Amino acid sequence: MQEYFLLFIAAIFVNNIVLAQYLGNCPFIGTSKNTGVAIGMGAAVVFVAVMATAITWLVQTYLLEPLGLGFLQTLAFILVIASLVQFVEMFLKKMVPPLYKSLGIFLPLITTNCAVMGIALICQRKEFTLVKSVAFAAASGVGFMIALVVLAGIRERLEIRRVPRAMRGTPVGLVMAGLMSLAFFAFKGMI
């Protein structure tokens, strides 16, 4: 139990997927202008990351490794994640329209989200079991969501502040992301 607890804390704070691993910066900056949008995107990442990690683990363990095709990992994972996102989108649209509407544009955005891909690859590199991989994926997704929501809160306030014209929007967003990243480095001493 302690192992999973540490895994969670490490994935959320110490090795935060976006602030410590620098993965998923595009959606991080692109969808952090509004807290509501940030929560939607964060939820979508958690959902897709968990599903993608589980399926890629199965593909790696039962297809690529037995055939000695580990070098195809990246290509295979891209294929699987893109297809999975498309499938999930269709499934939710038909079966759970309210959830589909709440995720909205974020599901297709995740197709090209390297954070999801990164989570799947990290699980393989660290040779996690299926259950651990899923737990790690969920924790990393939550870490992404927390970073996104915090940055959105900051940027909402920046909207009404006197920011030099050249720094408005993405530039000041990146500066804030950098500062947040520095702040998250302080968690390194936790574990």
Partner 1 sequence: MITTSALTLFGLGFGSAAILSVASKLLYVKEDPRIAQVEDLLPGANCGGCGYPGCSGAAAAIVSGKANAGVCVVAETEAMVAIAALMGQTIEEREPEIAFRDCTGGTRAEERFAYAGIMDCQAAAMLHGGSKSCPEGCLGLGTCVAVCPFDAIHMGPEGLPVVDPDECRACGKCAEACPRGVISIVGMTSRLLHLNEVTDCLAPCRQKCPGQIDIPRYIQQIKAGDYDGAVNTIKERNPLLMVCGRVCPRPCETVCRRNNVDSPVGINMLKRFVADRELHGGTHLPVPCAKDTGRKVAVIGGGPAGLSCAYFLRRLGHSPTIFEAMPALGGQLRYGIPEYRLPKADLDWEIQGILDLGVDVHLNKRFGKDYDIESLKQDGFEAVFLGIGAWQASGMYAEGEDLEGVWGGIEFLTAHALGQSIDIGKKVIVVGGGNTAIDCARTCVRLGAEVIMLYRRTRAEMPANPEEIVGAEEEGVQFKFLAAPTRVVGDENGRATHLEYKMMELGEPDASGRRRPEPVEGSETLMEADLIIPAIGQKPDLTCLYDDDAESCPVETTRWQTIVADPDTFQTIVPGVFTAGDVFTGPDLVISAVGGGRKAARSIHYHLQQDGDIPIPDTLQRDLIPYTMFKEVTGVRQSERAQMPHLCHGDERNCTFSEVEGALSETEALAEADRCLHCGLTCYDRDMEQPEEKEQQIL
- Of 6, 90, 131, 186, the one binding partner 1 (CB under 8 A) is 90
CA distances from 138 to 48, 143, 144, 158 (A): 9, 9, 10, 30
129 contacts partner 1 (rule: CB under 8 A): no
175 contacts partner 1 (rule: CB under 8 A): no
Angle, CA of 7, 8 and 12, to the nearest 5° = 115
Q: Comparing C-alpha atoms, which of 15, 30, 24, 53 is closest to residue 113?
A: 24
Q: Comparing C-alpha atoms, which of 120, 126, 123, 143 is closest to residue 52?
A: 120
CA–centroid distance for 190 within its chain:
22
- Of 93, 153, 172, 176, the one binding partner 1 (CB under 8 A) is 93
- Are 147 and 46 in contact by the 8 Å Cβ rule? The answer is no
- Of 19, 64, 110, 145, the one binding partner 1 (CB under 8 A) is 64
132 contacts partner 1 (rule: CB under 8 A): no
The burial class, CB within 10 Å (0-12 / 13-18 / 19+), for 45 is buried
179 contacts partner 1 (rule: CB under 8 A): no
- Of 6, 26, 58, 75, the one binding partner 1 (CB under 8 A) is 75
- Are 181 and 19 in contact by the 8 Å Cβ rule? The answer is yes
- Of 7, 10, 20, 37, the one binding partner 1 (CB under 8 A) is 37
Interface residues for partner 1 in 40-59 (CB under 8 A)? 59
Nearer to partner 1 among residue 65 and residue 185 (C-beta): 65
Q: At 11, list the tokens.
A: 């994935």
Options 42-50, 92-100, 141-149, 171-179: segment touching partner 1 (CB under 8 A)? 92-100
1 contacts partner 1 (rule: CB under 8 A): no
Closest distance of CB 145 from partner 1, Å:
18
Q: Which residues bind partner 1 (CB under 8 A)?
A: 34, 37, 59, 63-64, 67-69, 72, 75-76, 79-80, 83, 86-87, 90-91, 93-95, 104-105, 159-162
